[in-house]
Structure 1
Amino acid sequence: MNRADDRLVEEPPKDTGHRRSPYERDRARVLHSAAFRRLATKTQVHTAGTDDFLRTRLTHSLEVAQIAREMGARLGCDPDVVDVAGLAHDLGHPPFGHNGEAALDLLAAPCGGFEGNAQTLRVLTRLEAKVLAPDGSSAGLNLTRASLDAIGKYPWPRRDGQRKFGVYADDAAVFGWIRAGAPGDRRCLEAQVMDWADDVAYSVHDVEDGIHGGYVVLRPLLADADERAALCADVAATYSGESPGDLAEVLIELLADPLLAPLASYDGSHRALVALKATTSGLTGRFVSAAVAATEERYGPGPHRRYAADLVVPRQVRAQCALLKGIALRYVMRRSGFRGRYERQRTMLAELAAALVRRAPDGLDPVFAPLWRAAPDDAARLRVVIDQIASLTDPAATSWHARLVGGAPAEASATT
């Protein structure tokens, strides 16, 4: 029988005077991991350290976990399982955010590519130092099957035509153990809750950061139909299966919502900050409550967990969330000068990878050097180099490039 609380490597019970659930232990392991600490200086949307107000991957992950925990508890999921999923979902993201992810995917083509979610699985089951298997190999944090399954946004290997995937070929064995008994590619409810919490946090908080930073100004959208059409085209191409025309109708309603009205006159004052926080809180509550209500309407009051139900998100709410993500994409991530900064970041990572390939194993951290020596072929050795780079924070990647290559491309670590 495949139990949800099984661990890949059996561990003796701990005599701590307090009996924690397996999932409470999972949560503690993620919180105390080195990979989690490194999220503090990894890019969310803006480069970490450029503004004390703005989110990093760490604060984003904490917010996702809080949203997921409350939403999951309302549906009857084990709250610690969805909490773990929220805390851990971005552990595999490399320096420089999604731009760094795209750069590493190209560099890692000979060994199967790179994807942040697949890297997260690798971090949790192989790269983090916590538990050793009987043969002396690393079992990573050795989390329970339920927690690892909840972290899997994309429970399938790389496929032609699909940009997202959740496992590399050489991690197939542990992936098979996690998914034993799971129905095909279907995600467990906890993973769906975490994924929606991630979308909600991403959309609402990135717009909040953009408004505070002066990058997002809503007046042009209110006044210019062409600008609204361009935004909807971006969203349809990137975040939504809706047509630009259908999104345009949702956008007009969203911009007319009284909840967003204070954002048009944001000036950074205390009163304006209060209004901004009221907007973000209101949107978050709306998006979460709509999903909980729609799921309970379809499946009943619960409790629901694992594969007993699927999360239901109303079409209108999903479109509103996608439009907010599109606002951050268009006015923050694609603002003036972004192409040059992104190119310099990609160049930095490519040069760093080339330098490490030449210098390995001596240029690698002590934890990665033995893995490089034990690798059976060039593809496996390249994967170790990619693992090393992906583990770096934004400042560390810049520092390593300066040390190994001889200087960072100008503005490579500027706000993105």
Structure 2
Amino acid sequence: MDTSDSTRMATAAPTAALARRIPESTPERADGAFRVDLERIRFSPYFSRLSAVTQVIPQAGSGTVIHNRLTHSLKVTAVARSIAVALRDSDDDTKRIITELGGCDHVVAQAASAAHDLGHPPFGHLGEQVLDRLARERLGLADGFEGNAQTFRILTTLDNSEVSEHGLNLTAAVRAAVLKYPWARDEWRDEADVPADRLPRGVGIDRANGALKYSAYLLNAAEMAEVRSAYPRIGANQQTIECSVMDVADDIAYSVHDLDDFYRAGVLQHTTVAAELETWLTRQRELAELDQATLLATLRTPGHSLEWAWRRTAQKDGWITDEGEFRDAVIRVRDGLVEGLLAVPFDGGVAAERRVAAFTRHWIDRLKASIAVEREPDVRSSHVRLTQDAWHDVVVLKFVHTRFVLDRPDLTIYQRGQARVLESLVEGFHAWLTDPDDVARAPRRLLDSVESTIESYSELQRSGTHIGGDVVRLGRARAVIDYIASFTDAQAMSAAALLGGTSDRLWDDGRSL
């Protein structure tokens, strides 16, 4: 056994509350309980499903070099473990802060990292946005759909284990560690006057529909509050230490590893990326004088999008942003990405793969070694965060993602087609469940989910909670969303073809529904 695995972290010393399960299980050592959690997550069908769910670029036609949600999750797990182990060996002041706040067990951080994307639906973030809109506007679910809330729902309700019909019966520590946005959607619905720089990261600016990002639906809000009660020193809108480790690891993996994909796929081009970064660096003072209307009207002009990204970042995160640090980060990304990796087109050869490996290793090592721990973090930060320089690096790397990949018209066309697939699935399955002559022939898993979810809403209503509608309608709607969100990309396409009557592959397409 790896000695670093078997050595208890000096700052961890989990209490009985952190190792608590629902219902209570046979008492175990906390580290053993956490390892059981990690194994249950890794053996879950929701985890293996991630191998066929889009990360950013669809794998179809791009080969196995492109990341999917599973490979991304595995890399987040590796980075999180490295950060957590480094915290174990940190200075005494840092260890005291971590101990006061509930500890940092590297197995808990690994488990949370393995689980953090379980709730992502087909087609990546596009699928998340579309299902949220459909859940609210077509099905009348006020709390819509959100990948993080879906993750918590899977772990606590939808998945099952040998000892629990509903949920994996995980410890409080691991359940708390997946709560990246530890509030329900409607908690921020009436906070319209709070400025963006005083809102927790993820709440969003437009709060007419509540928080943009959140970690529990109404059905699971009570359990979210219950597991957070095991951490009395953690503030109301703050992550646990292990959760913030997972969150930082997610940022690192996303900002670095996805660039590998874009380079391999030929999406990132040296000329266009270089023009954007170099123009901003050489014309920074001139661009800073542009009024907002002019800037927004000319975002396709080299340098203008980066200037807009800087302004938005400074407006939201004044607690950490610094113009000089941002400029230094742009220079580091230019030197490492543009003049390094992108200077030679990817040709699939050994030399090209070694360049990718060297680029990835340099940035991963730099970022995971740039960790700060705070007892009283800013409302937009966490107890564990990146240092100021590394934080700016990630901002610039994410900008490259958005500007040169996510905003591409060819990707947008593809995504509009995926959105129509999800629309047809929501309408098709919901219509099936409301057809009294044919509802009995709906997929068994979907019917079981409807029955269970209706009962959950009924229990909430009996407890005096305002659920905002008829229990049958809400239960049916949430079950439809749960069902579709559990599909892989291919299953979503196949199911849409079957419901639309355009498939001639009945048994192949329908066997997994």
Interval of TM-score (by shorter of Structure 1 and Structure 2): 0.7 to 0.9
1:381 aligns with 2:430: no
Instruction: Answer 1 or 2: higher relative contact order, Cα 8 Å, separation at least 6.
Output: 1
Matches within 5 A, 1:221-370: 221-224=273-276, 225=279, 226-234=301-309, 237=312, 241=317, 249-257=327-335, 261-263=339-341, 264-268=343-347, 269-291=349-371, 294-295=372-373, 310-360=383-433, 361-362=439-440, 364-370=442-448
Question: What is the match of residue 179 of structure 1?
Answer: 228
186-195 vs 371-380, greater mean Cα deviation = 371-380
Gap change, CA 1:362 and 1:317, over 3 Å in 2: farther
1:66 aligns with 2:78: yes
Which AA in structure 1 matches 2:148?
A: N
Match of 1:93 among 120, 130, 135: 120
Gap change, CA 1:345 and 1:256, over 3 Å in 2: closer
Deviations 1:124-164 (A, max 9, x none): 0000021566xxxx431111000111111111111332311
Gap change, CA 1:236 and 1:326, over 3 Å in 2: farther
Please give the alpha-carbon distance, in whole angstroms, between the structure 2 residues aligned to 1:19 and 1:339.
47
C-alpha displacement at 1:256, in angstroms?
Answer: 4.4
Which AA in structure 1 matches 2:48?
A: R
Deviations 1:244-287 (A, max 9, x none): 97686245322443576321223323212212211111101101
Unaligned 5+ runs, structure 1: 300-308, 409-416
Unaligned 5+ runs, structure 2: 1-14, 89-103, 190-206, 280-300, 376-381, 434-438, 455-470, 504-513
Which AA in structure 2 matches 1:107?
A: L
Matches within 5 A, 1:214-225: 214-224=266-276, 225=279
Please give the alpha-carbon distance, in whole angstroms, between the structure 2 residues aligned to 1:44 and 1:128.
22
Question: What is the match of residue 44 of structure 1?
Answer: 55
87-96 vs 271-280, greater mean Cα deviation = 271-280
Please give the alpha-carbon distance, in whole angstroms, between the structure 1 residues aligned to 2:323 and 2:268.
23
Matches within 5 A, 1:175-214: 175-182=224-231, 183-214=235-266
- Taking structure 2 as the reference length, the TM-score comes to 0.70
1:80 aligns with 2:118: no
C-alpha displacement at 1:406, in angstroms?
Answer: 2.5
Please give the alpha-carbon distance, in whole angstroms, between the structure 1 residues aligned to 2:486 and 2:350.
38
Which AA in structure 1 matches 2:431?
A: R
Please give the alpha-carbon distance, in whole angstroms, between the structure 2 residues aligned to 1:257 and 1:286.
15
Which AA in structure 2 matches 1:127?
A: L
The CA RMSD measured in Å over matched residues stands at 2.7
Deviations 1:51-78 (A, max 9, x none): 2100000000000001001111111231
- Taking structure 1 as the reference length, the TM-score comes to 0.86
**1:21 is paired with a residue of what secondary structure?**
helix
Which AA in structure 1 matches 2:149?
A: A
Gap change, CA 1:310 and 1:235, over 3 Å in 2: same
Which AA in structure 2 matches 1:402?
A: A
32-41 vs 184-193, greater mean Cα deviation = 184-193
1:114 aligns with 2:140: no
Question: What is the match of residue 298 of structure 2?
Answer: none
Question: What is the match of residue 31 of structure 1?
Answer: 42
Deviations 1:2-58 (A, max 9, x none): 6100001123469xxx99700110000000001001001001001234321000000
Please give the alpha-carbon distance, in whole angstroms, between the structure 2 residues aligned to 1:163 and 1:259.
31
CA contact (8 A) 1:5 1:22 kept: yes
Q: Percent identity?
A: 31
Larger radius of gyration: 2
Match of 1:128 among 144, 159, 182: 159
CA contact (8 A) 2:330 2:396 kept: no
CA contact (8 A) 1:232 1:323 kept: no
Match of 1:56 among 63, 68, 86: 68
Please give the alpha-carbon distance, in whole angstroms, between the structure 1 residues aligned to 2:212 and 2:363.
29
**2:242 is paired with a residue of what secondary structure?**
helix
CA contact (8 A) 1:236 1:244 kept: no
Gap change, CA 1:266 and 1:330, over 3 Å in 2: same
Question: What is the match of residue 412 of structure 1?
Answer: none
